[in-house]
Structure 1
Amino acid sequence: MSINAVAHLNFRGQARAALGFYQSVFGGQVIAATYGDFGMPAELPGADKVVFGQVIADNGFRIMAYDVPGQDAPVAEGAPTTRRENGVTLTEEPFFLSVRGETVEEVGALWERLADGATVIEAYAPAQWAPAFGMLTDRFGITWVLDVAAEHAQA
């Protein structure tokens, strides 16, 4: 038996924009269906929102997303945050998305694209445990950890 786990992100009216952004960062195809596509009358509010969406890339990247019904506002002020203090990560978030690649260059290119409009928590740079590591919260409020696998270190 073969299985894999895929992050499924829940948005408040931003799923289509987030999927498009992640496709621009990681490549691949966006597949998205709206509530209207699944039978909701077009005249109802939210019929144009994403009920099922995903990005699938040849490089192995895959993510899913949808818009929570009836929730069109971004996450409210005071939502969970992540920050670095005195060399440790402090957070109230229940998860981070982790992307690991084989070279500093390939992961660095992803970092540059993902960092557009993001809040950098820790800059992408060499770390004690990896040739390169960085942490940011993207423009959609998702916190990402990007690093290079130590066994594949190439500067």
Structure 2
Amino acid sequence: MRVMVIVKATKSSEDGVLPSEQLLTAMSQYNEELIKAGIMKSGDGLKPSSEAKRVHFQGNQRTVTDGPFAETKELIAGFWIWEVASMQEAVEWVQRCPNPMPEESDIEIRPLYEMDDFVDNDTEGAIRAREQAFAQVQSLQNATVQPYLFFGGRCEEALSFYEQALGAVVVTKMRFDQSPDPLPEDILQAGFEHNIMHASFKVGQMTLMASDGCGAKTTMSGFRLTLAIATEKAADAAFDALAEGGSVDMPLAETFWSPRFGMVTDRFGVGWMVMVPEVTS
């Protein structure tokens, strides 16, 4: 079952008093426990109602009122969404929570409605099907797409190159002979046993994945990676570094959409578009 765990507002939270370093640390550790247990799905603290607005509905009329709001006991200062087996489990977890306020405080636990609660009003299941379709759309909206590059036996060399050329940071690296599961028979080219099965590395804010693949036959075609850099000087340096041992497909130059744009294919056959985003006022 899903529950909303509501931290009720107090005078200090409405006054905008921020939690101490000690409390922040304690709450962070508590959240870590919730995440490791697979219970916490989301959660956040809320700013005081002095920064809020309230919309009152009366028929077709809408009235907006600026905060702060006087009813402190009816306000909330934060929340979690948890997935638990029962209300008792939720209670037990709340009892382990550090006091979220410097004074006495309350935490309320409220079950969320599930589609099963509306079965009598959805006898044909049409609303359930529609909600499931919405959930699928949301999942796709929150999905991520990451490039996965296959280097045909040169992955180690490529990772070192990107560390030097782009300041890449290698996050993970696993070789075929480190696999916890045996590989399918005859899938791996002879001599590839110690090659990289999977790696991930960061270039700026982007995480890419890489592998040697199962053999030397690999091509890098039909795509380019776009590298957006804030300054022209840094773009020039990155472009030159990528071009070393590779080929310049379009020299860096000013275009109508960017003060710097160029295309280069690096020594591993990976195509790049290097650009400086246009600054808009």
Per the normalisation by structure 2, the TM-score is 0.43
Distance 2:143 2:165 in 1: 25
SS at match of 2:252: strand
Shift of 1:152: 6.3
Query: Could you tell me whether the CA contact under 8 Å between 2:248 and 2:263 is conserved in 1?
Result: yes
Partner residue in 2 for 1:146: 274
**1:121 pairs with 239, 249, 253, which one?**
249
**Structure 2 gaps, min length 5:** 1-140, 184-189
2:208 paired residue number: 63
- One-letter code of the match for 2:256? Q
Mapping of residues 12-51 of structure 1, within 5 Å: 12-30=152-170, 31-39=172-180, 45-51=191-197
Aligned length: 133
Q: Choose 1 or 2 for highest CA Rg.
A: 2
Q: Deviations over 1:127-154 (max 9, x none)?
A: 222100010111001110001101269x
Q: Which has the higher contact order (CA 8 A, sep 6+)?
A: 1
Instruction: State the 1:4 CA deviation.
Output: 3.5
Rounded to whole Å, the distance in 2 between the matches of 1:109 and 1:152 is 24
Structure 1 unaligned regions, length at least 5: 81-92
| Aligned residue in 2 for 1:88 | none
Taking structure 1 as the reference length, the TM-score comes to: 0.74
Partner of 1:107: 235
Do 1:133 and 1:145's aligned partners in 2 also have CA atoms closer than 8 Å? yes
How far apart are the structure 2 equivalents of 1:22 and 1:54?
A: 12
Counterpart of 1:84? Answer: none
Shift of 1:52: 0.6
Taking structure 1 as reference, are residues 152 and 144 closer, same or farther at Cα in structure 2, changes over 3 Å only? farther
Q: Distance in 2 between matches of 1:2 and 1:105?
A: 34
SS of the counterpart of 1:113?
helix
Shift of 1:74: 6.3
Task: Supply the distance in 2 between the matched residues of 1:118 and 1:12 (Cα, whole angstroms).
Answer: 17
Compare the two structures and name the one with the higher strand fraction.
1
The 8 Å contact of residues 133 and 148 in structure 1, kept in 2 or not, is answered as yes
Percent identity at matched positions?
25
Q: Find the aligned partners of 1:110 and 1:152 in 2 and give their Cα distance.
A: 23
Q: From the two aligned structures, give the one with the greater helix fraction.
A: 2
- Whether the 8 Å CA contact 2:175–2:196 is kept in 1: the answer is yes
Computed over aligned residues only, the root mean square deviation of the Cα atoms, in angstroms, reads 2.5
AA in 1 matched with 2:199: G
